[in-house]
Homo-oligomer: A and B are copies of this chain.
Amino acid sequence: MKKLNIAIIGLGNIGSYLYKYLKDNKNILAEKNNCLPIVKYVSAKNKKKKRNIKIKKSQWLKDYLHCTKLKDVDLIVELIGGAEGPAKKLVFDALKNKKHVVTANKALIAKYGDQLAKIAEKNKVNLEFEAAVCGGLPIIRSLKEGLIANKISRIYGILNGTSNYILSSMDKQNKSFKEVLHDAKRLGYAESNPSADLNGDDVSSKLKILSSLCFNSFLNSNIYVEGIKEIDKIDIDNANNLGYKIKLLGFAEFFKKNVYQSVHPTLIKKDSYVARIDGVLNAVIVDGKPVGQSTIQGEGAGPSATTSALVSDISSISRGNIKFPFSISSKERKNLKFKNIEERIFSAYLRFEVLDKPGVLSNITNIFSKNKVSIKRLVQNPIKNKRSSSIIIITHDAKNKRLKKILAKISKQKFIRQKPKLIRINNL
């Protein structure tokens, strides 16, 4: 039987889980793929860290980069992380030396994916990154293979489990952002430094990769990104009262040779599919022709879900399933123009905390009217004992730049007690 010699570089939670999985399941994988996977070498920053796995002395590499040159290595699994430094060096060197690469590194692929793909194609090796986007969901494989027949016009979804856990817990548990974040860390749903999850960067990397695969284009770094840090419990409650849920939505659309990419908190109708995805789940929705709308939902993160994805890539390579990293040859990928968010049309939710005095409402509505944005709904809630009010406005459709102009203008008014909120609505 054929053999596939593997080096796993990076032995954190995911690397250790994968190591154990491949050891325990090598026979069933061999039976399915007609090829025996063997973990020949490993490397880790801290060799002495306590791990629940048995590693032979001979398996440890002296220098992690050696694996790119060893003859008895066919495939390198990169689990170091980060777009720069050792991960970047490893993956570039591996592909240059004609080793297949499987990685869970979304930051690296989102930044250097185009360059890496060219090297992989030139050297006829595979570069696979199912694990980099939405863990256990086979979304990359579905786009590259299961839905290969389709011209995709739109992809969107909930791509970050940490933010989704926080938003849905704030909704259900009547807790503040801070309290829920604290719980999430305790439960292992948020990292000790969760900033990439909360500021939208994690979703941004994933979305760039997905939109590139969907639209047969090079990675497009133009993307509007806004995280969930400024969402207050009161916004979630207001959304509920108005028939919406707030979700951090990654959204990419292709039309007239333009691509539009965005990540921002979004009001979504309560009874829609996406609004009901709660907790750490991920969900991706794809609109394609001829297939129509397809949805994939599942566990987006964690060692077990990520291992499921890594093993699917390792198996594909071991079956000799040769593919272009981004579905189509680099020679055929396009440079798409970016459609800026400012020209895009939204209806929006706005919240203004104001001093309760005569003329405020007319001043606000006047600014809307001057900027030609019409108001669909307005609710004014007096705040007890505080001589102040909360004014909530749902607008009709308007260009983003007009909404921003209104926000800036009203922010400067003397009666404004707090930075106003703007959350876009998407009637999915």
Contacts and interface: CB of A to CB of B under 8 A. Distances in A.
Interface stretch (A253-261, A322-330, A352-360, A372-380): A322-330
A296 B299 contact: no
A146 B292 CA distance: 21
A159 to B, nearest CB: 16
B298 A292 contact: yes
A145 B304 contact: no
A307 B290 contact: yes
A304 B292 CA distance: 8
Contacts of A365: none
B319 A319 contact: no
Interface in A1-54: 17, 21, 25, 28-29, 31-34
A311 B150 CA distance: 9
Given A293-B299, A304-B290, A149 B322 contact: no
A366 interface: no
Contacts of A29: 148-149
Contact of A294 (B130, B137, B148): B137
A147 B312 contact: yes
Contacts of A17: 290
A278 to B, nearest CB: 11
| Copies of the protein in its oligomer | 2
A320 interface: yes
Contacts of A63: none
A128 to B, nearest CB: 12
Given A149-B307, A316-B145, A323-B319, A292 B31 contact: no
A182 interface: no
Contact of A324 (B32, B147, B289, B311): B32
A276 interface: yes
Contact of A290 (B147, B296, B308): B308
A385 interface: no
Contact of A149 (B21, B34, B141, B288): B21
Contacts of A298: 291-295
A115 B303 CA distance: 39
A225 to B, nearest CB: 27
A142 interface: yes
Contacts of A327: 32
A390 interface: no
A193 interface: no
B147 A32 contact: no
A382 interface: no
Contacts of A290: 17, 21, 136, 303-305, 307-308
Contacts of A305: 290-292
Contact of A328 (B31, B145, B297, B322): B31
Most buried by B among A33, A289, A291, A321: A291
Contacts of A147: 138, 308, 312
Contact of A297 (B136, B145, B295): B295
A315 interface: yes
A315 B312 CA distance: 18
A295 B292 contact: no
A186 to B, nearest CB: 20
Nearest to A297: B295
19 contacts: A29-B149, A32-B324, A136-B292, A138-B294, A145-B312, A145-B315, A146-B312, A148-B315, A149-B307, A149-B308, A290-B303, A290-B304, A290-B305, A290-B308, A291-B304, A294-B296, A294-B298, A295-B295, A295-B296
Given A136-B290, A141-B146, A293-B298, 6 more contacts: A32-B148, A138-B142, A149-B308, A292-B304, A296-B297, A319-B321
